Amino acid sequence: MNKSLRLPQFDTENTQSRKSYLKEMQKIYAYTLTYDGIIATVNTLPEREKTTLGYKAKSLLHLAGVLPSLPSFLLNRLKFKTFKKTYTKYDDYFFYNKSSFPNPEMRENFLDNKYLGYQRVAGMNPVVLEGVNDKNPLPSTFKVSANSLNITDKEFKSAFKDNRFYMTNYSMLKPLFENPGEVEGVRKYIMPAIALYTMEDDGTLKILAIQLDATKETNDDTNPIITPANERWNMARTYIQAADGTHQELWTHATRIHYVLESIIMGSWRQLGKNHPLLALLKPHLKFTLSVNVNPLFEKSPDGTIPSFGKMFGCDNETLVAFMGEGMKSYSFKNFILPVELERRHVTDPRLLYPYRDDGLLMWEETKRFVSEYINAWYKTDDDVAHDFELQNWAKELGGSRKENNFGLTDFPTKFNSADELIEIVAHIIFIATAHHSSVHYPQYECAGFPPNLPFSAYVPPLTDPKNYQTEEGLVKFFPPYDQALEQAFIFYFTNFKVNRVGEFDLSSVPKEYWSIFKEHQKNLQKIHQKITSLNKTRLYHYQYMDPNNVPNSVTV
């Protein structure tokens, strides 16, 4: 990449060399539609995508943080793995107990219901919460009433009218529930559960009720409404957390960030010439993601081995793979653009304390402004967009149908007619690779690094006799066995490091007249950092995951 950036239609003297370069790149970035023919993954990790020495050094340095915990870790391993003792305490699951933990207060009090509300708006999956109102009512299967919540009809109606009810509905997990999995002969459980919350006067969410099967038309003894006062509460809480974690890993995180970006990365290198201005803009956001994605986490290997990570989830492996394919198909590139997505979930009420939304919008607006400056500087008219044949090929391959061997991203335009259309899509790509991934990836150690707070499956059936889990010794039986619990704690500890920061850009890769666009962007990111720092001084929740000083420039873990 150098200063001779040119749109292909104005680079006529290099038409042939651009073409042969792209032909070569298409070989290097050859891909296959995997996950039941839905998700595009690279055939072989290109040499140029491998992690650098600097990346490896940062990862090792971070890993060294577990060293103080090593003696207790080995003792724990001897006890629970070698001698197969059964867990009796929540703290038995705290594997790195002498290493730093991001939210010790939550870990020590994880059964306190206030942390359920907190995790829905500032945790690792802050994208499921929906406002309940006339336009977005509770599903008819969720027969929650004033009576079941132990409040008056008047209170129930007035909360509804005042738009104070929120829900998280995991009914999409039904196929997983119907196709349970086993690990080492032990059955795993997951439920397509639903939860109701109310917004308190201070804007926080208080959980009111859980129903384990949001798809079943009954609330009899086989599918009761369970409230915090019920003796079944800690079981229901475990199931709602498992549902949220499963949705996060399989849809929000792996499919809709890592694999969506894998398509974008391959499409960009395959279709945009070496000196294409759009490639220059995207390049810092495409770094290291393929080297992360190439590690097998979900799909069975050809010899039938299921990766350790895939073993944590409640269903069989075929169902898990099909579910991820479904997550990709239902990810609409246009409907998931942040402001549209927030409207769609009815979560724009400013009274709601929702750091993901508020900090996310600051980052989205600045990303869009920056992208708009850059795109408008290169594409002086909409005709320049329409005549950029490399850009049009990029669109055709990313948005085109899978049947014709394209990437098939849902609602990705197959043609760009205007700069405005391009700005929206490019800003969305950069937002996914930066602030959005940061908000989903980095809270994982806080929320799921201690498995009792969020196990990905339960290991006791849901409606078993409540007297069996009223004690700590009883409830731990719901949590994963040693290998799955350790996999969960390890992977989230291990991937909790950063190698770059949003806004970093090699200015020498663009002509000097464009430098001010990048410098302005960096200045504005610092203003956002200052704003979030000051917001955090008065917020009930300190939220750091979208502060630009903590947001990486690409998906590097």
Residues of this chain that interact with Fe ion (CB under 5 A) are 441
Q: Are 314 and 246 in contact (CB under 8 A)?
A: yes
Specify the residue, 169 or 554, whose C-beta has the smaller distance to Fe ion. 554
Specify the residue, 237 or 287, whose C-beta has the smaller distance to Fe ion. 287
Specify the residue, 170 or 259, whose C-beta has the smaller distance to Fe ion. 259
Query: In the complex, what is the shortest distance from the CB of residue 86 to Fe ion, in angstroms, rounded to a whole number?
Result: 33
Query: In the complex, what is the shortest distance from the CB of residue 446 to Fe ion, in angstroms, rounded to a whole number?
Result: 14
3-state secondary structure of 52: coil
Query: In the complex, what is the shortest distance from the CB of residue 552 to Fe ion, in angstroms, rounded to a whole number?
Result: 10
**Where do we find the tokens 């998700």?**
39
Residue nearest to Fe ion (CB): 441
- The C-alpha atoms of residue 344 and residue 361 are separated, in whole angstroms, by 15
Q: Quick one: tokens of 50?
A: 């491998």
Specify the residue, 293 or 453, whose C-beta has the smaller distance to Fe ion. 293
Query: In the complex, what is the shortest distance from the CB of residue 49 to Fe ion, in angstroms, rounded to a whole number?
Result: 16
Q: How many CB atoms lie within 10 A of CB 242?
A: 28
CA angle 115, 116, 119 (to 5 degrees): 80
- The C-alpha atoms of residue 234 and residue 467 are separated, in whole angstroms, by 12
Query: In the complex, what is the shortest distance from the CB of residue 253 to Fe ion, in angstroms, rounded to a whole number?
Result: 6
Write down how long the chain is.
557
Query: In the complex, what is the shortest distance from the CB of residue 307 to Fe ion, in angstroms, rounded to a whole number?
Result: 16
Specify the residue, 124 or 391, whose C-beta has the smaller distance to Fe ion. 124
Instruction: Supply the DSSP string of 409-436, one letter for each residue.
Output: -TT--SS---HHHHHHHHHHHHHIIIII
Q: Are 288 and 554 in contact (CB under 8 A)?
A: yes
Query: In the complex, what is the shortest distance from the CB of residue 56 to Fe ion, in angstroms, rounded to a whole number?
Result: 17
Query: In the complex, what is the shortest distance from the CB of residue 262 to Fe ion, in angstroms, rounded to a whole number?
Result: 12
Query: In the complex, what is the shortest distance from the CB of residue 432 to Fe ion, in angstroms, rounded to a whole number?
Result: 11
Phi, psi (deg, nearest 5) at residue 33: -85, 110
Query: In the complex, what is the shortest distance from the CB of residue 437 to Fe ion, in angstroms, rounded to a whole number?
Result: 6
Specify the residue, 209 or 292, whose C-beta has the smaller distance to Fe ion. 292
- The C-alpha atoms of residue 251 and residue 332 are separated, in whole angstroms, by 12
- The C-alpha atoms of residue 345 and residue 121 are separated, in whole angstroms, by 13
Q: Are 292 and 557 in contact (CB under 8 A)?
A: yes
- The C-alpha atoms of residue 193 and residue 190 are separated, in whole angstroms, by 9
- The C-alpha atoms of residue 273 and residue 15 are separated, in whole angstroms, by 10
Specify the residue, 396 or 441, whose C-beta has the smaller distance to Fe ion. 441
**Where do we find the tokens 């650098």?**
52
Specify the residue, 287 or 441, whose C-beta has the smaller distance to Fe ion. 441
Q: Are 518 and 364 in contact (CB under 8 A)?
A: no
Specify the residue, 238 or 255, whose C-beta has the smaller distance to Fe ion. 255
Q: How many CB atoms lie within 10 A of CB 412?
A: 26
Closest by CA position to 297, among listed 250, 329, 263: 250
Specify the residue, 120 or 441, whose C-beta has the smaller distance to Fe ion. 441
- The C-alpha atoms of residue 70 and residue 240 are separated, in whole angstroms, by 32
